[in-house]
Amino acid sequence: EECHLLHSAWNDLTKVWTLPVIHALSLKQPARFNELKRRIQNISATSLAERLNELDQRKVIERKVYPETPPRVEYALTKKGVELSVILGTLAEWVMKWDKPSNGTDRANDEKVRASARSK
């Protein structure tokens, strides 16, 4: 059960444009559709609409429609979405720490660690 839930969540999060949408909302919220489209370079209106709908269904974001003319719709992270954003920020820090382009020194240290592990 737990593995299935994790797998399902992972599949949703790794869809193209999902992480940029969450990140864009974490920078400033609430945000309107066109504001998000401007923040996320090269995303199509169709892709943005799909990701927003999926994230709304998973309760990562909320969609608020104001009874105005013309209609105004705003998107914001839910409590669940804010918590996910924090986790993604931590993941980004981890990636920057470990997956930055390595220089010769890093490569040499990696080889020493591997050699040490093999000798045990």
pLDDT digits (tens, 9 = 90+) for 103-120: 555 666 666 666 666 665
What distance in Å separates the CA atoms of residue 59 and residue 77, rounded to the nearest whole number?
9
Contacting residues for 57 by C-beta, under 8 A, at least 6 apart: none
Total domains in the chain come to: 1
Residue 120 belongs to some domain of the structure: no
User: C-alpha distances in angstroms, 13 versus 7, 48, 79, 102?
Assistant: 10, 14, 17, 27
Residue 105 belongs to some domain of the structure: no
DSSP lists the bridge partners of residue 31 as 75
pLDDT digits (tens, 9 = 90+) for 56-110: 999 999 999 999 999 999 999 999 999 999 999 999 899 999 987 765 556 666 6
Residue 114 belongs to some domain of the structure: no
Q: Which domain holds residue 27?
A: 2-88
Residue 66 belongs to some domain of the structure: yes
CATH code of the domain covering residue 7: 1.10.10.10
Cβ contact 58:12 at 8 Å = yes
Average pLDDT, the chain: 89
DSSP lists the bridge partners of residue 73 as 65
Residue 21 belongs to some domain of the structure: yes
Residue 110 belongs to some domain of the structure: no
